């Protein structure tokens, strides 16, 4: 995939560009100055200009994991680098290069069309491919970091393009080297390594229920099941504004988990790779009585307590104020801190 072909090094720019359709919360936000980035070679000159003028800046992909204020000052880079192609294949695996602006769900569907299963558990996660490694997106027992070979990005600190190997990306639960170094790297391309040996991963409760009579589902079966589950649990942003899971599932030491379990026998949790326990944040919020509750123009989704929604005319301030109420109540009831998952710009 060569995202620089047939593309001018001067990206299209817009003043006071509305971002209402570029953030899944549907907040009435705008960018003071926006650049439409359609090729990696457009980035160096723009970043040089931003640096010289000392302007604030950020990258915006699909806007599915962000909380936008009324006005984004300075420069907003709209990540629109597209394209995907198989670049290598051997007996063990296939390498696929994908542009940072490609829609994530569309890419997952494309891999199945090409008979390259592995990512089906991550179907219907909103956002772009470029944002996936930053957050190390995950769902139903699978994290994207497992399938990444390398990430190409522009380093705004040293003003050069760099390629980070999987190990250099330092993937952890909802974390990565990019997240630890915010505002430094602009992800332009992700190379995925899809193993030829495929195995169904249906141990997560929701998927296990779907397939309790079917011991060997196909990748397509799992893809459709994940889409069905997510559609049932999560509201469509086109219908009601949201950013999916608003809080991370907190991870607690075994001793704290044992104490909580004694007090709350119904506590929902999952074992963590490190021997700790990952608690279901949605369950904690639900137990505090927030599911379906509303505060002005924002609220908690009636079918899933982990999702905060914009009922219309809500603002970033509204959603963060409500989130603080939830965090305080969960801390008081369970002694557990909830971290916000979307990026607050």
8 Å CB contact between 333 and 288: yes
Catalytic choice (3, 64, 245, 269): 245
172-188 burial code (b ≥16 CB/10 A, e <16)? eebebbbbeeeeebbbb
DSSP category for residue 42: G
Look up tokens 């190997």; give the residue. 165
**Catalytic residue status for 245:** yes
Sign of CA dihedral 30, 34, 40, 43: negative
Look up tokens 């469509």; give the residue. 236
8 Å CB contact between 177 and 73: no
- If residue 189 lies in a helix (H) or strand (E), which one and from where to where? strand 185-195
DSSP string, 200-221: ----SHHHHHHTTT-SS--HHH
**Catalytic residue status for 321:** no
8 Å CB contact between 37 and 313: no
How many Cβ atoms sit within 10 Å of the Cβ of residue 2? 13
8 Å CB contact between 184 and 155: yes
**Catalytic residue status for 32:** no
8 Å CB contact between 132 and 179: no
Q: CA 280 to CA 213: how far, in whole Å?
A: 26
> Shortest CA distance to 143 belongs to which of 82, 60, 201?
201
8 Å CB contact between 186 and 131: no
Catalytic choice (174, 176, 230, 277): 174
How many Cβ atoms sit within 10 Å of the Cβ of residue 203? 10
> Shortest CA distance to 133 belongs to which of 125, 141, 5, 344?
125
Catalytic residues: 174, 245, 341
């Amino acid at each position: 995939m060569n995202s620089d072909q047939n593309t001018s090094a001067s990206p299209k720019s817009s003043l006071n560009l509305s971002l209402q359709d570029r953030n899944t919360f549907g907040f009435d936000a705008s960018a003071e100055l926006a650049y439409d980035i359609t090729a990696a070679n457009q980035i160096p000159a723009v970043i040089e200009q931003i640096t010289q003028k000392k302007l604030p800046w950020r990258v915006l992909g699909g806007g599915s994991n962000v909380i936008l204020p009324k006005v984004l000052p300075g420069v907003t880079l709209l990540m629109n680098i597209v394209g995907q192609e198989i670049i290598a294949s051997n007996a063990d695996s296939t390498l696929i290069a994908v542009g940072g602006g490609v829609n994530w769900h569309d890419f997952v569907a494309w891999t199945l069309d090409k008979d390259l299963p592995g990512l089906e558990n991550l179907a219907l996660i909103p956002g772009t491919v470029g944002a996936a490694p930053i957050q190390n997106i995950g769902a139903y027992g699978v994290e994207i970091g497992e399938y990444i070979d390398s990430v190409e990005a522009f380093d705004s600190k040293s003003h050069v393009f760099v390629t980070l190997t999987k190990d250099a990306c330092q993937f952890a639960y909802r974390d990565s080297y990019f997240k630890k170094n915010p505002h430094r790297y602009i992800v332009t391309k992700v190379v995925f390594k899809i193993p030829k040996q495929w195995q169904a991963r249906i141990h997560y409760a929701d998927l296990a229920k779907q397939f309790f009579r079917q011991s060997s589902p196909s990748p397509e079966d799992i893809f459709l099941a994940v889409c069905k589950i997510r559609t049932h649990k999560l509201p469509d942003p086109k219908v009601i504004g949201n950013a999916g899971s608003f809080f991370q599932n907190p991870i607690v030491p075994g001793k704290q988990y044992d104490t909580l379990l004694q007090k709350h026998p119904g506590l929902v949790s999952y074992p963590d790779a490190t021997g700790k326990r990952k608690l279901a944040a949605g369950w904690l919020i639900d137990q505090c009585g927030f599911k379906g509750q509303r505060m002005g123009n924002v609220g908690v989704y009636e079918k899933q307590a982990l999702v905060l929604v914009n009922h219309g005319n809500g603002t970033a301030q509204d959603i963060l104020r409500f989130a603080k109420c939830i965090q305080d109540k969960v801390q008081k009831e369970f002694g557990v801190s909830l971290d916000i998952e979307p990026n607050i710009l």
